[in-house]
Amino acid sequence: MKKIDDLEKAQLLFKLVRGKKNWGACYDRLEHFKRFQNLDNIIKELAKIGWITLTKKTKLKAISANPKFKKKIIEFIEDKMPYLKGELK
């Protein structure tokens, strides 16, 4: 398995939490993240550390950011993408 760049993880997390604020029980379909080349590996790594949760519905797969790690996730995004400092709450 290829080592995933932290910037890719930060970009996926940012896309997940910015607009619709997909924290906790609010999920976003995986098809909305298909621009990420290593999507499966990114999701595996983030799920393994508990930062995202994956749900499988009958016709779709979806992900959500874990609100227990909200502060760490925001710090990670701001560390890897410093131009976003202060944008997320």
In this structure, what are the phi and psi dihedrals at residue 32, rounded to the nearest 5 degrees?
Answer: -75, -5
pTM (predicted TM-score): 0.88
Q: CA nearest 88: which of 9, 16, 40?
A: 16
CB 24 within 8 A of CB 52: no
Q: Evaluate if residue 4 carries a pLDDT over 80.
A: no
Q: What does the pLDDT look like over 19-60, one tens digit per residue?
A: 778 888 888 889 889 999 889 999 999 999 999 999 988 888
Q: Evaluate if residue 1 carries a pLDDT over 70.
A: no
Percentage of the chain modeled with pLDDT above 90: 52
The mean per-residue pLDDT over the stretch 67-88 comes to 91
**CA-to-CA dists, residue 58 to 23, 53, 55, 61, angstroms:** 21, 17, 10, 8
